[in-house]
Structure 1
């Protein structure tokens, strides 16, 4: 009897893990065929010069970004945008000084009002100060290669979208940042088929706050970032708000044209991912252990129990994500070997996400209060 029960449990586990992997691999195949990509690289001689970008405002919220701006700001300024605005959000380092020295227009952030989270408030101020008809919000840790903004703006205009996200290529360097950071690509590319963006339902939407390009009319109609003033997952919520208002949404992969170095250690990755994980699960804490168990069953259990086919499918998924995002350097491909351990390595993310409060860039945000309640600062 015990042997039968164990065999039945094994078959059930195989079906759940195998079904989950089949869905993810199928989604990756669809995205490999349909997901648009920025090409980057030198412009061919027979290709027309990029369109005028004088109506484009490049907007950068910056809080304690002195380590990033010297590397990324020259790329922002070289894109040819009509204006480049940096919002110094009460930084305690030389963020404002470095941005001014580089030639950007620097705005001093106003105090955080009750009911607002830090980044939406910084972006709201940038949007109000910008003069362009196309608003491009980009994080200070994103690197834009020459011509990337022109190519992205051209695709944006041709698409007819009201909001477009450029999904940057992950620029992982140190061993610690290679552990969890690549999961941001896996979540998008293996769970959301790109054609689903055309479905009008708001739930069929996604965005990445690292690069968000708006048509000014749509942005203003929604009230700017006030629409997501108290959201920890403000990018995804903004995408859903756009679709709920009847707007069009699209995404494009940055390839090598737009890159980002999100976190520089395992600890930074844990903190960064934990702040949005509960919101990603609809604010339902009960879903966190269920999600963890599903991933443990899909990726770690097959490795421990010798389910070779499932292990191979999990490794294939990780490889496919890297091929799709053009992360094919040996060190990038070697990250795939961590796949069976990822659920265990992500356990601290789930533990932090279950807390009543999250901390990000010196600010403490409650996770159990409705939108419009106050966010407290710990500075």
Structure 2
């Protein structure tokens, strides 16, 4: 009898979890802003697009031309002590290149690069974007329209994933699943600082709001500097608005499963509010929800959980604008995803984090 009660409790608990996530995903499908290509407006002359770059010689020839074609007032690339031809390539493509100063004690490399870029920028609107982000035609117009329509002090964009290798598909798209499946858009629009999502791949600030939040100097030691800076801005009374990049802004974050592990391991603790207990608890819960149903004897209830786990990632990809067959087939990874993420959790639990050739203390 007790075994049957435990079985019923398990099915009800995990079932409620999937129902809640499905409801949240449907809400975000209806409410989450999406960028649409727009002509570049005259106010683009006030825009500074700022790109921190460290060892990006392989990436910039593919992404930088699209940024330069947007018509911004200026495009600055900071070469953060690259060991390759990043600076020469960026200058040859037409960007203004800054040589990064040595990394001061207590700073994370990206925050230091962004702080230098902000100091050199002339625009009233500061758009930080990563070197691996593709800006498609009409993207800058789309960002400026969304910034204006929303009244945001910070517009942060989740680029659509593109160019995923089979290995990168295993974990990389979980960025979208985490945002769209867990965070209801109406909650993100409240003034509660913890209810904030930001993506350093594209963050468009009004300069005054950026400085009011303390700039990147205020988050100099944070590995999850994008979200922490957005929280500070919201706490200072600013408005933070997230949007989906759709066909305007795309990204190839990682080229392999191994690279994905490094990236997720770097950010996992910060995403879980710097709580190792929360990280481990949710990791265990995901095993119970997505993997365990495939190890239990089949029953109608267990099959319902299996179908829910298989469907979720496909539905997330539909909402984020990834609708090709290989993208939708990622749903089949549902039972394996918690197992594939275990090495990233192990990395996150270490006392130091290594990223782009530098080592930082973890929280």
Say yes or no: does 1:20 pair with 2:11. no
Given that 2:40 and 2:141 are in contact with CA atoms closer than 8 Å, whether structure 1 keeps it comes out as no
Say yes or no: does 1:330 pair with 2:325. yes
Partner of 2:5: 8
Say yes or no: does 1:354 pair with 2:345. no
Given that 2:222 and 2:228 are in contact with CA atoms closer than 8 Å, whether structure 1 keeps it comes out as yes
Partner of 1:373: none
1:190-339 maps to which residues of 2 (within 5 A)?
190-305=181-296, 306=298, 307-339=302-334
Aligned match for 1:179, one of 170, 175, 198: 170
Aligned match for 1:141, one of 132, 135, 155: 132
Partner deviation per Cα, 1:307-327 (whole Å, 9 max, x = no partner) = 110111122221211111110
Partner deviation per Cα, 1:198-222 (whole Å, 9 max, x = no partner) = 2111011110000000000011122
Partner of 1:69: 60
Structure 2 length-normalised TM:
0.96
CA distance in 2 between partners of 1:172 and 1:273 (Å): 18
CA distance in 2 between partners of 1:172 and 1:316 (Å): 22
The Cα shift of 1:183 comes to 0.4
The Cα shift of 1:49 comes to 6.4
Tell me the SS of whatever aligns to 2:50: strand
Partner of 1:374: none
RMSD over aligned Cα atoms: 1.2
Aligned match for 1:341, one of 311, 314, 336: 336
The Cα shift of 1:111 comes to 0.7
The Cα shift of 1:51 comes to 3.9
CA distance in 1 between partners of 2:362 and 2:355 (Å): 13
CA distance in 2 between partners of 1:113 and 1:66 (Å): 24
Given that 1:28 and 1:189 are in contact with CA atoms closer than 8 Å, whether structure 2 keeps it comes out as yes
Given that 2:91 and 2:97 are in contact with CA atoms closer than 8 Å, whether structure 1 keeps it comes out as yes
1:92-103 maps to which residues of 2 (within 5 A)?
92-103=83-94
1:38-57 maps to which residues of 2 (within 5 A)?
38-40=35-37, 50-57=41-48
Given that 2:28 and 2:184 are in contact with CA atoms closer than 8 Å, whether structure 1 keeps it comes out as yes
Structure 1's 49 and 86: CA in aligned 2 closer, same or farther, altered over 3 A?
closer
CA distance in 1 between partners of 2:224 and 2:104 (Å): 19
CA distance in 2 between partners of 1:194 and 1:282 (Å): 19
CA distance in 1 between partners of 2:56 and 2:36 (Å): 28
Tell me the SS of whatever aligns to 2:328: helix
Partner of 1:371: none
Tell me the SS of whatever aligns to 1:85: strand
Tell me the SS of whatever aligns to 2:326: helix
Tell me the SS of whatever aligns to 1:91: coil
Given that 1:124 and 1:226 are in contact with CA atoms closer than 8 Å, whether structure 2 keeps it comes out as yes
Partner deviation per Cα, 1:92-122 (whole Å, 9 max, x = no partner) = 0110010000010000000111111110100
Structure 1's 315 and 172: CA in aligned 2 closer, same or farther, altered over 3 A?
farther
Tell me the SS of whatever aligns to 2:198: coil
Given that 2:14 and 2:289 are in contact with CA atoms closer than 8 Å, whether structure 1 keeps it comes out as yes
Given that 1:51 and 1:150 are in contact with CA atoms closer than 8 Å, whether structure 2 keeps it comes out as no
Given that 2:48 and 2:122 are in contact with CA atoms closer than 8 Å, whether structure 1 keeps it comes out as yes
Tell me the SS of whatever aligns to 1:10: helix
The Cα shift of 1:346 comes to 0.6
The Cα shift of 1:130 comes to 0.3
CA distance in 2 between partners of 1:347 and 1:104 (Å): 40
Structure 1 length-normalised TM:
0.92
Partner of 1:167: 158
CA distance in 1 between partners of 2:308 and 2:280 (Å): 23
